[in-house]
């Protein structure tokens, strides 16, 4: 077969009159980069130190570019998929981002937002220096200011608040999480109950519904091994962890798994489903309960699972004290409880036909322990009582015995690794009612979107307010109430916005502090994307390139553009300045675990964590690397391939004791 | 749930939503608005600095089924005024078969803005707007200019071909805290009408006194702590940044 590309008539003409460069196809001699037959999707890691490609912008001139390839993690959506950054060895410039095939969750496949990281780091409008407000808050006037001044001014204010026991006036409000573990440590070192988040505009509904069953506030399906999948949302294209999930769902579908989707739109997801159920918003629970009724009535439930794992005797005793306690009576009473949820009732509420409800219910029942379901936001986030939707969804998993099983839905914490950190601070002695008010004892979690109203009611004030990659004026409901709160210096004393780019909330800050994008910062990532368990590294790639070239780098900002910092180093530095003489006891938590008395470096922090990841030191040793160097080189590590059936594992006395404490 | 004063919800059950059909008068142009759907190509308000993504996705029209549009006399691209509990926004309608009849939807992410006094930022994705506080708590946002091609450091700025910029819908939503989960219940009951003379795509209005009232109404449905033993929260529930044990009890 000839590899010679053919020129079209127009191309030949354009080439002839010099409109485009000579395409050089006619001689058929484009030198292949790899040996014939060596076609692969990704550069092999042994070539990452010197990978050669033709310069794409100079085509058809054949200019070779040499790259060093550094792994990192995407920082756009919550999935944190693995990226490979291609750094030009000659110019030191990051040229592009592609997928990291060694990432256990994304497996080299990424969505459009991953490669677009290059746009974000090269954005001509990005913030390169710390800025301080001039004139009234929100007036739009700014001046450049040094990091030294920023750190000293903020540290003095926090120090004063802590010394005056106004710990509840310090709040860190985060939009895109990422370095929670790190930040929780910082806040507890300061002794403040200062964590606020975006969860209650996102997943609080589903979290509550799931937690009411078993304390696990999320369920993550083993889609790869499922026989039937029910998704409430456009999960394939935009659900939580959609990229790692979508590739596994489609693999399942290709091997015969059937899919049902509840969505009001004919989304990409609905269009791939075997059953598209366009439920009227908020009626999903009625449909799910009708399915539960069918599974009960037709005996499709998993009796062994229910007998073992449901407190059916306690329920009979509480709700039906006159009934003899037996499993048969439990099923009988359960059928009575849900008798009204006929498929006809479900149709009347939701608009989904009776036949579709029956069909899907029977398929779920037949899939048994291999029934996977997902609801993260969507219906449970849109509706009053939406938490019951997630609870009813898990009801189907309970009835079919598909919790914790291969092809079922897994409690999230089974598949998420919690890093062991150096010298953890004790819990804080404060409860912040601006975050957890009395009215919402069951909330998951902080009542973040009510903050402006709480301030308006005079429930408290904030002296130092950090917003980090968080834009409530734009993203949250009722943004003008946020503007009213943010412009009021009596309610919010100091507002520092930590963000890579200007946004509608940063316009109403006192300080705007530029922080790095995905390839300009450190983080660790571990999410419940599938039945495995893994950890990944987000690292500043130019810092890593400098290290590979033997150049000593002390702080990430040395290799970042302008004066862009990363958060980890910001918090360490700020904490030292809050406690300059060590008298507050804060500094103790930012001391190197390896060099007594010295300030902890970010390298030491991650070294300490990676040395304690199960299996990582051994894997690193095989490569002749330290655990930290292993993560710098490969970007991710899978500690377990399958975590299943933990509920059937017998605990030792010690484990039982620890689980209770 | 019994311990925490919600015995009626002791089992998995069905709660009628705040946008249930019982409360929607469709002949008056009322609809449930689903404002939450995400696009695979954007991420909240953080992708405005990514030119490739803005090039792919830069409009957020209101999705409406053909039968609803026919019934109400709306045509594709008609400018509508979407009235929420606390104000309104102006948006173009997209008439489509790919939508459930009786429901409208508008995507998230789009409708970013900057005021003339703000630093130049996110030019791939921001409308230029003016914000007027007509009187205390009455806020009007007018779009001055959509997205514009421009000269700059990045030559792609001059190649921007999209002009729309979309509409910032979330700012016109009242808060809806679910009394149990604490979730903001995003869906909105809205009333649709043709845009008024002078309304421009992306314009909006909000009354924050009204939004404070809606907050109070929802807050009134909560059933506050303490729970059993004077607890603020069940000890077995997760809580970010757990404080010392004694702080879990109300004195």
- Reported as a single tens digit per residue, the pLDDT across A576-599 is 999 999 999 999 999 999 999 999
**Is some CB atom of chain B closer than 8 A to the CB atom of A480?**
yes
Phi-psi region of A650 (alpha: psi -120 to 50; beta: other; left: phi over 0): beta
Picking from B41, B137, B238, the nearest residue to A217 by CB comes out as B238
Query: Which residues of chain A lie closer than 8 angstroms to B4, CB-CB?
Result: 441-442
Q: With a CB-CB cutoff of 8 Å, which residues 79-118 of chain A face chain B?
A: 111-113, 115-117
**pLDDT score for A10:** 74
Name which of A266, A387, A431 is nearest B178 (Cβ-Cβ).
A387
Q: Does B220 touch chain A (CB under 8 A)?
A: no
Domain range for B207 is 16-113+166-220
Burial A393-418 (b: 16+ CB within 10 A, else e): bbbbbbbbbbbbbbbbbbbbbbbbbe
Out of B50, B175, B243, name the one closest to residue A449 (CB): B175
How confident is the model at residue A3, as a pLDDT? Answer: 47
A549 lies in some domain: no
What domain count does chain B have?
1
B95, containing H or E segment: strand B87-96
- Domain boundary, last residue among A407, A425, A446: A407
Residues in contact with B52: Cβ distance below 8 Å, sequence separation at least 6, in sequence order: A112, A115, A116, A119
| Chain A positions in Cβ-Cβ contact with residue B15 (cut-off 8 Å) | 285, 383-385, 388
Q: How many helices (H) and strands (E) does chain A have?
A: 25, 20
* Interface contact flag, A140 B15, Cβ < 8 Å: no
CA distance A217 to A211: 4
Q: What is the mean pLDDT of each run of 10 residues along chain A (661 residues)?
A: 58 69 54 62 91 91 95 95 98 97 95 97 96 97 98 98 98 88 96 97 98 95 97 93 96 97 97 98 98 98 97 97 98 98 98 98 98 95 98 98 97 93 96 98 98 98 97 98 98 98 98 97 95 97 97 97 97 98 97 97 98 98 98 97 93 84 56
Query: Residue A2: what pLDDT?
Result: 45
Residue B236 lies in a domain: no
Question: Do the chains contact at B185 and A392, CB–CB below 8 Å?
Answer: no
- CATH number of the domain enclosing B100: 2.40.40.20
How are beta strands B104-106 and B62-65 bridged, if at all?
A: antiparallel
Nearest CB to A429; choose among B39, B215, B244: B244
Chain A partners within 8 Å of B240 (Cβ): 180, 184, 195, 197, 445-446
H or E stretch at A346: helix A343-350
The answer to whether A503 contacts B17, with C-beta atoms less than 8 Å apart, is: no
Is residue A116 a part of any domain in this protein? Answer: yes
Question: Which residues of B fall within a CB distance of 8 Å from A126?
Answer: 49
- Chain A positions in Cβ-Cβ contact with residue B98 (cut-off 8 Å): 265-266
Concatenating the DSSP letter of every residue in A275-327 gives: EEE-PPTT-HHHHHHHHHHHHHHTT-S-HHHHHHHS-HHHHHHHH-TTS---H
Of the candidates B45, B122, B171, the beta carbon closest to that of A480 is on B171
Identify whether the C-beta of residue A579 lies closer than 8 Å to the C-beta of residue A186. Answer: no
Query: Containing domain of residue A86, as a range?
Result: 10-121
Chain B neighbors of A115, CB-CB under 8 A = 52
Q: Is the peptide bond before A247 cis (omega within 30 degrees of 0)?
A: no
Question: Within the 576-635 window of chain A, which residues sit less than 8 Å (CB to CB) from chain B?
Answer: none
Q: Is A78 on the interface with B (CB under 8 A)?
A: no
Instruction: From A407, A425, A460, give the residue that closes a domain.
Output: A407
Nearest to B170 among A120, A264, A477 (CB): A477
**Quick one: pLDDT at residue A658?**
79
Give yes or no: residues A250 and A393 share one domain.
Answer: yes
Q: B173 in contact with A at a CB cutoff of 8 Å?
A: yes
CA distance B194 to chain A (A): 23
On whether any CB of chain B is under 8 Å from the CB of A167, the answer is no
- 3-class secondary-structure state, position B87: strand
User: Is A530 part of a structural domain of the chain?
Assistant: no
Q: Does A139 touch chain B (CB under 8 A)?
A: yes
Residue B171 has phi, psi (to 5 degrees) of -70, -15
DSSP A436: S
Note whether residue A29 is domain-resident.
yes
- Cis, peptide link before residue A615, omega less than 30° from 0: no
* Co-location of A401 and A299 in the same domain: yes
Which residues, listed in sequence order, are joined to residue A90 by a DSSP beta bridge?
none
A507 touches chain B (CB under 8 A): yes
Residues A487-527 have pLDDT tens digits of: 999 999 999 999 999 999 999 999 999 999 999 999 999 99
Which positions in chain A touch B173 (Cβ < 8 Å)?
477-478
Q: Pull the structure tokens for residue A289.
A: 């309960």
Instruction: Tell me if A501 and B49 make a contact (CB, 8 A cut-off).
Output: yes
B73 in reach of chain A (CB within 8 A): no
Q: Please check whether residue B50 touches A, CB under 8 A.
A: yes
Decide if B202 is inside a domain: yes
* Position A240 in a domain: yes
Beta partners for A465?
A: A171, A495
CATH number at residue A35: 3.30.200
Contact A436 B177 (CB under 8 A): no
- Whether chain A has a CB inside 8 Å of the CB on B202: the answer is no
Question: Is residue A600 a part of any domain in this protein?
Answer: no
> Prior bond to A480 cis, omega within 30?
no
Q: Cβ of B159 under 8 Å from any chain A Cβ?
A: no
CB contact under 8 A, A447 and B102: no
CA distance B62 to B76: 10
CB contact under 8 A, A238 and B173: no
pTM (two decimals): 0.95
Q: In this complex, do B171 and A474 lie within 8 Å of one another by their Cβ atoms?
A: yes
Note the pLDDT of residue A26: 47
Do A251 and A380 lie in one domain? The reply is yes
Contact across the interface for B100 and A278, Cβ inside 8 Å: yes
Residue A96 belongs to what H/E stretch?
strand A94-99
Does residue A373 share a domain with residue A229? yes
Q: Which of A90, A121, A152 is the last residue of a domain?
A: A121
Interface touch B184/A449, C-beta < 8 Å: yes
Overall number of domains in chain A = 2
Helix (H, G, I), strand (E, B) or coil at A624: coil
B248 part of a folded domain: no
Give which of A77, A216, A264, A471 to mutate to test B binding, by max B Cβ within 10 Å: A264
All residues of chain B having their beta carbon less than 8 Å from the beta carbon of residue A211 are 237-238
Q: Select from A201, A426, A431 the Cβ nearest to the Cβ of B232.
A: A431
Domain membership of residue A541 (yes or no) is: no
Residue A475, burial from CB neighbour count under 10 angstroms (0-12, 13-18, 19+):
buried
Nearest to B55 by CA among B42, B45, B66: B42
- Determine whether the interchain pair B182/A207 forms a contact, defined as Cβ–Cβ distance below 8 Å: no
- B231 contacts chain A (CB < 8 A): yes
pLDDT of residue A59: 85
User: With 0-12 CB in 10 A as exposed, 13-18 as middle and 19+ as buried, what is B138?
Assistant: middle
Distances (CA, A) of A528 to A197, A245, A416: 20, 10, 5
A204 vs B178: CB contact, 8 Å cut-off? yes
Pairwise CB contact (< 8 Å): A384 & B185? yes
CA distances from A434 to A173, A454, A458, A593, B225 (A): 12, 7, 10, 35, 15
Q: Does B249 touch chain A (CB under 8 A)?
A: no
**Domain-located, residue B123:** no
Residue A381, number of CB atoms within 10 A of its CB: 28
Bridge partners of B80, per DSSP, are B91, B194
Tell me the two tokens of residue A312: 């059916």
pLDDT value for B74: 98
What residue ranges of chain B have pLDDT lower than 70? none
Q: Quick check: A380 and B21 CB within 8 A?
A: no
In this structure, are A219 and A115 located in the same domain? no
pLDDT at A1 (0 to 100): 42
**Residue B208 is encoded by which pair of tokens?**
């924050």
Confirm whether A648 is domain-assigned: no
Contact between chains at A175 and B44 (C-beta distance less than 8 A):
yes
Residue pair B35/B105 in contact by the 8 Å Cβ criterion: yes
């Amino acid at each position: 077969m000839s590899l010679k590309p053919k020129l079209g008539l127009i191309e030949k003409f354009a080439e002839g009159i010099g409109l485009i460069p000579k395409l050089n196809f006619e001689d058929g001699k484009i030198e292949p980069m790899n040996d014939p037959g060596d076609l692969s999707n990704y550069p092999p890691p042994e070539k990452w130190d010197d990978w050669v490609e033709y310069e794409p912008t100079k085509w058809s001139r054949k200019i070779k570019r040499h790259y060093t390839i550094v792994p990192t993690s995407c920082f756009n959506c919550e999935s944190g998929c693995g990226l490979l950054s291609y750094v030009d060895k000659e110019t030191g410039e990051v040229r592009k981002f592609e997928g990291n095939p060694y990432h256990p969750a994304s497996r080299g496949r990424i969505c459009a937002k991953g490669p677009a990281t290059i746009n974000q780091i090269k954005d001509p409008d990005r913030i390169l220096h710390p800025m301080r407000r001039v004139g009234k808050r929100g007036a739009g006037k700014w001046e450049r200011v040094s990091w030294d001044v920023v750190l000293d001014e903020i540290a003095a204010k926090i120090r004063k608040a802590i010394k005056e026991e106004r710990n509840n006036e310090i709040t860190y409000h985060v939009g895109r999480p990422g370095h929670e573990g790190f930040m929780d440590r910082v806040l507890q070192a300061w002794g403040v109950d200062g964590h606020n988040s975006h969860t209650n505009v996102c997943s609080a509904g589903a979290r509550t519904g799931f937690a009411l069953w078993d304390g696990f506030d999320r369920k993550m399906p083993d889609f790869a091994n499922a026989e039937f999948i029910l998704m409430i949302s456009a999960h394939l294209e935009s659900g939580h962890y959609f990229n790692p999930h979508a590739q596994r769902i489609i693999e399942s579908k290709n091997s015969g798994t059937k899919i049902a989707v509840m969505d009001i739109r004919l989304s990409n997801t609905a269009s791939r489903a075997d059953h598209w159920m366009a439920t009227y918003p908020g009626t999903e629970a009625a449909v799910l309960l009708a399915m539960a009724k069918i599974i009960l009535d037709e005996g499709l439930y998993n009796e062994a699972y229910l007998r073992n794992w449901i407190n059916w005797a306690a329920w009979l005793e509480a709700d039906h004290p006159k009934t003899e306690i037996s499993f048969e009576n439990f099923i009988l009473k359960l059928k009575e409880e849900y008798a009204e949820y006929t498929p006809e009732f479900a149709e009347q509420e939701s608009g989904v036909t009776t036949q579709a409800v029956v069909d899907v219910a029977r398929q779920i029942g037949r899939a048994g322990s291999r029934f996977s379901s997902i609801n993260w936001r969507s219906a449970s986030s849109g509706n009053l009582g939406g938490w019951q939707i997630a609870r009813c969804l898990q009801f189907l998993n309970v009835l079919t015995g598909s919790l914790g099983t291969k092809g079922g839905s897994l409690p999230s914490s089974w598949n998420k690794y919690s890093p062991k950190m150096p010298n953890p601070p004790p819990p804080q002695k404060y409860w912040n009612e601006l975050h957890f008010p009395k009215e919402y004892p069951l909330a998951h979690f902080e009542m973040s979107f009510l903050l402006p109203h709480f301030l308006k009611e005079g429930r408290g004030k904030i002296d130092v307010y950090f917003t980090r990659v968080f834009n409530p004026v734009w993203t949250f409901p009722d943004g003008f109430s946020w503007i009213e709160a943010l412009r009021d210096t009596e309610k919010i004393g100091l507002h520092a916005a930590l963000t890579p780019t200007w946004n509608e909330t940063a316009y109403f800050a006192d300080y705007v502090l530029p922080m790095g994008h995905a390839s300009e910062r450190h983080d660790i990532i571990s999410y419940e994307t599938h039945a495995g368990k893994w950890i990944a590294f987000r690292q500043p790639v130019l810092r890593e390139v400098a290290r590979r070239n033997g150049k000593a780098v002390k702080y990430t900002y040395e290799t970042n553009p302008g004066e862009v910092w990363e958060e980890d180093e910001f918090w360490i530095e700020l904490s030292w300045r809050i406690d300059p003489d060590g008298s507050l006891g804060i500094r103790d938590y930012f001391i190197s675990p390896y060099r007594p008395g010295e300030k902890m470096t970010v390298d030491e922090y991650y070294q300490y964590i990676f040395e304690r990841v199960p299996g990582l030191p051994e894997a690193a040793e095989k490569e002749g690397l330290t655990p930290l160097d292993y993560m710098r080189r490969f970007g991710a590590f899978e500690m377990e391939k399958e975590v299943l059936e933990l509920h059937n594992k017998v605990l030792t006395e010690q484990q039982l004791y620890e689980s209770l404490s | 749930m019994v311990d925490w004063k919600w015995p009626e919800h002791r089992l998995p059950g069905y709660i009628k939503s705040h946008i249930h059909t019982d409360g929607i008068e469709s002949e008056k142009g009322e609809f449930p608005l689903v404002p939450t759907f995400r696009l695979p190509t954007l991420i909240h308000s953080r992708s405005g600095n990514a030119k490739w993504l803005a090039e792919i996705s830069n409009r957020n029209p209101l999705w409406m089924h053909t039968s609803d549009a026919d019934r109400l006399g709306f045509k594709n691209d008609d400018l509508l005024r979407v009235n929420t509990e606390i104000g309104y926004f102006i948006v173009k309608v997209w008439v489509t078969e790919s939508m459930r009849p009786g429901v409208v939807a508008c995507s998230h992410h789009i409708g970013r803005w900057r005021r003339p006094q703000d630093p130049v930022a996110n030019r791939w994705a921001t409308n230029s707007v003016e914000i007027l506080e007509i009187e205390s708590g009455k806020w009007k946002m007018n779009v001055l200019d959509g997205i514009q091609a421009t000269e700059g450091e990045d030559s792609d700025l001059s190649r921007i071909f999209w002009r729309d910029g979309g509409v910032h819908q979330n700012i016109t939503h009242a808060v809806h805290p679910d009394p149990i989960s604490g979730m903001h219940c995003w869906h909105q009951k809205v009333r649709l009408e043709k845009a008024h003379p002078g309304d421009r795509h992306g314009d909006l209005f909000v009354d924050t006194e009204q939004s404070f009232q809606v907050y109070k109404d929802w807050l009134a449905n909560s059933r506050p702590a303490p729970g059993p033993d004077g607890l603020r929260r069940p000890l077995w529930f997760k809580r970010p940044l757990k404080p010392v044990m004694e702080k879990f009890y109300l004195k």
